[in-house]
Amino acid sequence: MKRRRARENLFKALFMIEIGENEPEDVENYFLQGIAERAQETAYFRSSFQGILQHRGELDRILKEHLINWKLDRLSPVVRNILRIGIYEIMYVEEIPEKVSINEAIELAKIYQDEEASRFVNGVLDRIRKHLKGEF
């Protein structure tokens, strides 16, 4: 549950940067203040936040390659950032099983978008997972 809450904060932080045009450092500090007493949450949030920002170009490139009949800029900012988190976890966070990352992304989409978006997120992340594992 700790990682789920951190993942939700991570989504909110990425959304604030994209929509609110806030500075990443300010956003990171804002969220870290709220979870400073929870070390595991802080570690996950910090490493994932910095990792997603560092690899955003690569994450978006992979996402673009696996969108069918969609363009990256047509995705809602909610879905786009949920997919970035999912792709990042699949590629860079080895201690989280890929299916857990996909399920968590689906749950975020259900909460912050809708059921249709959750199915879309599931399809895209599963396609990326299979491609990265050589199952395509």
Query: What pLDDT, on the 0 to 100 scale, is given for residue 2?
Result: 75
CB of 72 closer than 8 Å to CB of 61: no
Mention every residue, 6+ apart, whose C-beta is less than 8 A from residue 17: 23, 24, 27
Residue 38 is predicted with a pLDDT of 72
In angstroms, the CA 121 to CA 80 distance is 9
Whole-model pTM?
0.92
The pLDDT score that the predictor gives to residue 1 is 47
pLDDT tens figures, 25-42: 999 988 888 666 677 778
CB–CB of 128/90 below 8 Å? yes
The pLDDT value recorded for residue 43 is: 87
Please give the pLDDT value at position 55. Answer: 97
Centre a 10 Å sphere on the Cβ of residue 121 and count the other Cβ atoms it contains.
Answer: 24
Q: Which residues of the chain have a pLDDT value below 70? A: 1, 34-37, 136
CA atoms of 81 and 60, how far apart (whole Å) = 10
Extract the tokens encoding 87: 């792709």
pLDDT attached to residue 76? 95
Q: Residue ranges per domain, the chain?
A: 2-132
Sign of CA dihedral 95, 2, 5, 31: negative
- Domain 2-132 of CATH type 2.60.120.260: no
Closest by CA to 82, choosing from 99, 106, 98, is 106
| Residue 92: per-residue pLDDT | 96
What pLDDT was estimated at residue 94?
92
For the chain, report the end-to-end CA distance as a whole number of angstroms. Answer: 32
Note the pLDDT of residue 131.
92
pLDDT given at position 107: 96
